[in-house]
Amino acid sequence: MPHTKRRRLVTTAVAVSLGATALAACGSSDDSKADSGPVSLTYWAWAPGMDKVVDLWNKGEGKKDQITVTVKKQASGDTLVTKILTAHKAKNGPDLVQAEYQALPTLVSNDAVADISKTVGDAKSKFADGVWQQVTLGTDAVYAVPQDIGPMMFYYRADLFKKYGLKVPTTWDEFAQTARALKKKAPDVDLTTFSANDSGLFAGLAQQAGAKWWTTSGDKWKVAINDAATQKVAKFWGGLVKEGAIDNQPMYTPAWNKALDTGKQIAWVSAVWAPGTLTTAAPDTKGKWAMAPLPQWSADQDVTGSWGGSSTAVTTDSKHQEAAAKFAAWLNTDGDALNALAKESGIYPASSSAQLSGAFSNPPEYFSDQADFYTEAAKIAGTTAPSAWGPNVNVAYTTFNDAFGAAAKNKSDFVTALNTMQDATVADMKKQGFEVSQ
């Protein structure tokens, strides 16, 4: 990458800086010339039914503009990130990729995705500020267009809350009181569980509390996974586990499914996609659940975290970045495209307007008795807190699973586990050659 093309991304809002690998915007839309004549683009994505959505483009806008997109189905998560980086090193990456938000800093630091701000900058108005920030990384650049999001919320058995005389908690203090009150009334029943097998849940809770795990100072990264906000979250959940007020078993197991389906657990801190999981995990309780906003740390707050979500990015390997960016914007802002994404791919759109139209005009079938499900979900989504991802989220997440898994099982100190997570993340960044300040 020529030095003249290097542009530092210095921000106090999110973790992006120059380390061993420059975080830069090479091959950005500034360098792209307008495409003329037929253009063929390849899109790596894992969302189901994406080829059907793309067909709308190929038969409509794409046909008019002579831009054809072909979907190549991929695995998700770290597997896709590794494949993208491998392809980029060989200079034969696709034109577009479906990228999870937490993966973007890694892709940017490896110069694998382009700055498309000149082409899609106007799309900002379609998204909540906290959502848009996840694709800008707190800079003037735009590295992707938001596609789907996972605003967090609180799910509970409405019938059992009534049976046990419980009120829906609006603060985390009330949440703890509710868990204890339930234990006194029904010792064999838990409000919920703390699960150490999904680091995204804990990250979203920390995000809601105001955590910023990766930030920058000049040319150095600052890693603060064990900051005050996250320690507050760790102490809160660790305390509930230690006193036995909630369960300490992992989610997504047969035992967890049975607990939900039989009323042994009567609440779940989750995200907007939870109805799909509950449909499979607790089929016998359909129509008995309700959704409410996530409890707050103080009564005057109104903020939620995010658990999951992805974007559409244009790669620096693409020879048609402007055309690719045009498709990415269409895919995630056009009404017909968003309705198709909801229908074929089952996503909850990042676009604010799409959250109240089309496929979201009626509640999920599992929540058929809560007519305002998606109206409330859209309000909650608009309160999504900014995130702060870094270049080695995978290391932080893996360490979480190990350290918090042991702490939850043994009912030991969660802050100690958090410090382990911090130390492992910092050590890995230094090993990679990043400048790190603590």
DSSP category for residue 294: P
Nearest to residue 331, comparing CAs of 120, 73, 94?
Answer: 120
Strands (E), 93-133: 96-100
pLDDT at 32 over 50: no
Mean pLDDT of 210-230: 92
118-151 pLDDT, tens digit per residue, is: 999 889 999 999 899 999 988 899 999 999 999 9
Tokens of 85: 């980086």
What is the separation, in whole angstroms, between the first and last Cα of the chain? 30
Angle (CA) 389 395 399, round 5°: 115
pLDDT digits (tens, 9 = 90+) for 147-183: 999 999 999 999 999 999 999 999 999 999 999 999 9
Q: Is 85 exposed, middle or buried (0-12, 13-18, 19+ CB in 10 A)?
A: middle
Task: Count other Cβ atoms within 10 Å, centred on residue 112.
Answer: 26
Chain mean position to CA 317: 25
Q: What is the CA radius of gyration of the chain?
A: 22
Least confident stretch, 4-13, 146-155, 250-259, 398-407: 4-13
> DSSP letter at 80?
H
The region, left, alpha or beta by phi > 0 then psi within -120 to 50, assigned to residue 113 is beta
Q: What is the mean pLDDT of residues 288-300?
A: 97
